[in-house]
């Protein structure tokens, strides 16, 4: 039984040593093995990253940078085109305003010319009608004066005859003419 107790003591001592050492990763006896596998894992990770992942990431970053650069260049080009379009619009607007002002001035001058011609024609027509009317009024006045003189002579003859007098045409005419002249 001594051997059995000696074997049991060794197992118990091994367990006690393992429990007192703490974590097996921190056991100094296993450091070389851990360091070897650490180096193997780091080299494998480095090779995988450098050969597979990093080139893909670099390609994506380069593509994004190229896209950004192209977009910035396109934006600058569009900005220049927009400025050119704005300048062309402003020029066209100024030209249109100038053309509109010119057309307004021409139309105003044409209307003024037509109006002046129409006014001259109307003035001439009014002057002609006024002259005609004045002549007609003068003729009417002359005719009215003659008719009034004639009526006055006839009335005077009739009155003198009605009153029992004898009046010759010459003396009645002279009397009526003298009275009408004032």
Q: What is the pLDDT of residues 118-143, one digit of tens each?
A: 999 999 999 999 999 998 898 888 88
**Under-50 pLDDT residues of the chain:** none
Whether this prediction's pTM lies above 0.85 is answered by no
Q: What is the pLDDT of residues 87-101, one digit of tens each?
A: 999 999 999 999 999
- Write out the two tokens for 176: 């009526």
Nearest Cα neighbor of 171 from 162, 148, 179, 147 is 179
CA distance 14 to 21: 10
Residues with Cβ within 8 Å of 156's Cβ and at least 6 positions away in sequence, in order, are 167, 172, 175, 176
């Amino acid at each position: 039984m001594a051997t059995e107790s000696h074997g049991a003591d060794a197992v118990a001592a091994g367990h006690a040593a393992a429990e007192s050492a703490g974590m097996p990763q921190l056991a100094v006896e296993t450091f070389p093995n851990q360091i070897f596998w650490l180096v193997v894992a780091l080299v494998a990770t480095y090779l995988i990253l450098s050969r597979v992942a990093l080139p893909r990431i670099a390609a994506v970053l380069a593509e994004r940078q190229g896209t950004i650069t192209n977009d910035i260049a396109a934006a600058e080009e569009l900005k220049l085109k927009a400025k050119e379009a704005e300048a062309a619009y402003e020029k066209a607007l100024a030209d249109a305003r100038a053309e509109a002002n010119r057309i307004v001035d021409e139309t105003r001058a044409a209307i003024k010319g037509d109006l002046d011609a129409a006014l001259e024609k109307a003035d001439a027509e009014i002057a002609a009608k006024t002259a005609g009317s004045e002549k007609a009024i003068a003729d009417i006045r002359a005719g009215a004066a003659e008719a009034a003189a004639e009526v006055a002579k006839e009335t005077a003859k009739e009155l003198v005859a009605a009153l029992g007098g004898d009046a010759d045409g010459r003396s009645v005419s002279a009397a009526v003419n003298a009275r009408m002249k004032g």
